[in-house]
Structure 1
Amino acid sequence: MRTLYLNQAALSAKATTVIRDTDNQSRYLLVGKWGLRADVLSVYTIAGALEAEVKQESLGLLPRFRLIYHRQTVGRVAKTFGVIREVLFVRGLNWIIMGNLNSGHFKIYHGRDLIATIDQVSQSGGGTIALAIDQQDHEALVICLAAILDRWAKHQSKAFNPLRNHAWAPAAGNIAQFHTNDDRRR
């Protein structure tokens, strides 16, 4: 397994992200943006060859993405409603992603075979994502999946949570009194 490192801050800034190996050698470039339908993130080798792309197919609460490897669609990934939020399926590749969006720890399986692990590594210079990948042919696709998972984790942390966000509640001095018809007759 080879380990690659992805700068999480550069990924969030919609900038070109350099993916490095354990020897700090640049291996891949991640270029593109999110947000609109048909937006694309592309993974290039340092030599400039296009390896993989992830295209956003839909917007909304359950966005869908298409994975393209060497200019051919190989899979699709989407969030699903349901009881098991910690499991995602990559249709076409028959990969299963198991993990937690809050902790940033994921494992990708094909049957019983471990394809990759994705972990957040805390460093003083900002967040880094470590990708341990079994084969070199899977690296570009796992980079695409890590970008999707990072995006979903960022959007989940900004999601409305009434237990954490009290912006919806009126201020203590601005509460209007509730009157019933009996109160008004008096």
Structure 2
Amino acid sequence: MTEFFIQEKQLSSVTRTIVKDNKGKPLYLMVGHWGRKGNVLSLYAMDGQIVAYIKQASVILGRKFEIYYDQTKVGVLHKIFHWPGDFYYIKQLHWAVYGDIYNHKYKINHFNQNVMTMDKATLLTGDYYVLDIAKQSDAPVAICVAAVMDYWLYNRNKQAEPDPIFEVTFSQN
């Protein structure tokens, strides 16, 4: 299992995220912006190759995000229902995202197998989201899903709210 730490920050509608390992070595760069149909948030390897990206597909009648991995569309993330907690689904991957989205305590499952769990932690250097991802190969898409969840959380009722900025590090268990 791989553990990612994402520092809590919200600055502007332009997102820049450095993904680092537990030694501080940069692994990925996430850039882009949200808010309008067609906007994209991209995850790049440090060699400049795009690894995954999210494209905002709809802003009217429920926001939908298309998720791409290795230049191939792997799914569409959209909200299924809102009561008593949020539930999101990526049909093509058979991933269900559920839990306490408001407090960053949720899971992604593929049927009954855990893909990722999200929680919060306070460290000496600040407040972090903690992502435990079962398979390293799922990490780029899971990080993209976490970015969308954060976007939805902070932009539920305020169209002009700033988008999240993440700093990500991870360690192998």
> Do both proteins adopt the same fold according to a TM-score greater than 0.5, normalized to the shorter chain?
yes
SS of the residue corresponding to residue 80 of structure 1 reads: strand
Structure 2 CA distance for aligned equivalents of residues 130 and 37 of structure 1: 29
Match of 1:48 in 2: 48
Which segments of 5 or more consecutive residues in structure 2 lack a partner in the other structure? Answer: 160-173
- 1:35 maps to 35
CA offset digits 1:145-186 (Å, max 9, x no partner): 000000111123759xxxxxxxxxxxxxxxxxxxxxxxxxxx
CA distance in 1, matches of 2:31, 2:103: 25
Aligned equivalent of 1:59:
59
C-alpha change, 1:82 and 1:106, in structure 2 (3 Å) is: closer
The answer on 1:86 being equivalent to 2:86 is yes
Q: Distance in 1 between matches of 2:81 and 2:114?
A: 25
- Per-residue CA deviations over 1:52-87 (Å, capped at 9, x if unaligned) read 011000114610000001111111111234545422
Contact 2:80 2:89 in 1 (8 A): no
For the 8 Å contact 2:80–2:87, the answer to whether it is kept is: no
Query: Does the aligned pair in 2 maintain the 1:44–1:52 contact within 8 Å?
Result: yes
| Contact 1:11/1:17 (8 A) holds in 2 | no
Gaps of 5+ in 1: 160-186
Q: Specify the code of the residue in structure 2 equivalent to 1:131.
A: L
Change (3 A) 1:49 1:77: same
Which stretches of structure 1, 4 residues or longer, exceed 6 Å deviation after superposition? none
SS at the partner of 1:57?
A: strand
* Greater strand proportion: 2
**TM-score by structure 2 length?**
0.81
RMSD: 2.3
Identical positions, percent: 29
- The number of residue pairs the alignment matches comes to 159
In the other structure, the counterpart of 2:147 is 147
Q: How does the TM-score come out when normalised to structure 1?
A: 0.76
Residue identity matched to 1:41:
L
CA shift, 1:110, in A, is: 0.6
Cα pair 2:53 2:68 within 8 Å, conserved? yes
Segment of structure 1 superposing worse, 120-129 or 36-45: 120-129
Question: Which residue in the other structure is 1:107 paired with?
Answer: 107
Check 1:114–1:9 CA distance in 2 against 1; reply closer, same or farther (3 A cut). Answer: same
2:124, 2:153 → 1: CA distance? 21
Q: Which has the higher contact order (CA 8 A, sep 6+)?
A: 2
The structure-2 alpha-carbon separation of the partners of 1:51 and 1:11, relative to structure 1 and needing over 3 Å to count, comes to farther
Q: Is this contact kept in 2: 1:7–1:17, CA < 8 A?
A: no
- Structure with the higher fraction of residues in helix conformation: 1
